[in-house]
Structure 1
């Protein structure tokens, strides 16, 4: 049987993007798998929410790995870990995170250039060196493993698209399999990003980028569409709105329409 990393790699086809469905617990992972997901991703923010914590560096590596292992065991699909900054600044820490992720059964991980818990970026040279170390560790593993390298400074307001593209080009040269600039200014920038590298490009479908269809992303060369915490936040929106009606107005109409228990049971099994 094809190993999980190879199965995951085979999904990455520029111009034919698959949806990396980010889940936050066994139930959401199994529902997404039952509804047709080809691969599952963890979400650092959504996982933090389940622990009652805010986003951005609030989950330890051990907690993230244990959570990821739970999702790996829950579904017969490739699972990729959203592992923030690799859980440390040093390149060797990123490399160790790759090795531990493989041991946990993950098909790949993403590592960003944010110097958590702050949202400022690492210097470009250090950011590239961190990916170089992670990629070397990935290539030394006993099976295939997809390393996605993120340039988060555009999303966080610390550098422009030109700098972000320079970073992902450096990540490509350092051995990354996939690159990722979350939330560029415009949809046209997605095409520019895809044209700037030869490796697979991931796009975060959140905010204004939810208004575009998969076909539109395909036409500009995207290989992977991830949800981040968008689906978890949509779920939290339902909780928020229904609870507001109940507690403020005694109105329970926010509980409908709902999915039947039988349908949920079917998807979970």
Structure 2
């Protein structure tokens, strides 16, 4: 068993409903070492902070080679499992997704965030199309011989204001969770979902570990655990707080 396979299995085992793994998202080797030293059990990049730290906007504006080089440096600097926010895998077709996943796994990452929004638009892939894409990502992992954790993300809730979230959206998310699970997903990510009742219903409706992002207004860790969440991530929040602090300190120094 390779070290990468061992790390992948260790990472998957951290996802327990009611006892969520906390992923305080990082963006480079320095932030990865800092979060590791703070006591993290695993590390996760965030696409937005990785891009912004290199002067790019989110949404696959940063070249894939930059993303993979960055991941390689992170993995070389830490001892923990590292999962990669791979956005839309920089491809729309199954062959491209599978190929890019295999390239990404060569860096040593042991998992992926993989989203269902159509990059550069406000739209989502329909369920059938995205399930095919998830299956292509799983096929790429299988071809590489790594049991990577595919965290299938839906942007249903992130693209709508929280006060507009309703049963129709939740039912769509539950249908997507089932389809993505059947296609080989390891987990289901619903960023932007903040309503306690809806989070609880989503966790009950799928066997997949559910990932919620700790954006402002989201229930606290203890509440999310009680609702059955298995993974809590922080997305761009740590980077934005760091930049705000840096600007404040620079302004004070510059007078």
Match of 2:247 in 1: 240
Distance in 2 (alpha carbons) for counterparts of 1:186 and 1:244? 38
The 5 Å alignment of 1:200-219 reads: 200-209=209-218, 212-219=219-226
Match of 2:197 among 188, 194, 204: 188
Q: Deviations over 1:188-234 (max 9, x none)?
A: 2211111111011111111211xx33222211111111111110111
**Shift in Å at residue 162 of structure 1?**
2.3
Q: Deviations over 1:5-36 (max 9, x none)?
A: 11111111111111122111111110100010
Distance in 1 (alpha carbons) for counterparts of 2:142 and 2:197? 33
Distance in 1 (alpha carbons) for counterparts of 2:194 and 2:15? 24
**Shift in Å at residue 181 of structure 1?**
1.0
**TM-score (normalised: structure 1):** 0.85
**Shift in Å at residue 109 of structure 1?**
0.6
Q: Which moved more, 1:135-144 or 1:123-132?
A: 135-144
**Shift in Å at residue 119 of structure 1?**
3.2
Q: Which moved more, 1:91-100 or 1:218-227?
A: 91-100
Unpaired stretches in structure 1, ≥5 consecutive residues? 251-269
Distance in 2 (alpha carbons) for counterparts of 1:67 and 1:189? 36
Question: What is the root-mean-square deviation in Å for CA atoms of aligned residues?
Answer: 1.9
Match of 2:157 among 144, 154, 157: 154
Q: Deviations over 1:131-180 (max 9, x none)?
A: 11112322343232111100113211398232222112210111100111
The 5 Å alignment of 1:100-139 reads: 100-139=103-142
Find the structure with the greater CA-based Rg. 1
The 5 Å alignment of 1:1-269 reads: 3-157=6-160, 160-209=169-218, 212-244=219-251, 250=255
Unpaired stretches in structure 2, ≥5 consecutive residues? 162-167
Q: Please identify runs of 4+ aligned residues in structure 1 that moved more than 6 A.
A: none
Match of 2:165 in 1: none
Describe the SS at the equivalent of 2:116.
coil
How many residues were matched structurally?
Answer: 246
* Contact 1:180 1:202 survives alignment (8 Å): yes
**Shift in Å at residue 62 of structure 1?**
1.5
Describe the SS at the equivalent of 1:111.
strand
* Contact 1:101 1:109 survives alignment (8 Å): no
Describe the SS at the equivalent of 2:152.
strand
Distance in 1 (alpha carbons) for counterparts of 2:174 and 2:197? 14
Q: Which moved more, 1:214-223 or 1:69-78?
A: 214-223
**Shift in Å at residue 185 of structure 1?**
4.7
* Contact 1:131 1:174 survives alignment (8 Å): yes
* Contact 1:44 1:82 survives alignment (8 Å): yes
**Shift in Å at residue 101 of structure 1?**
2.1
* Contact 1:161 1:184 survives alignment (8 Å): no
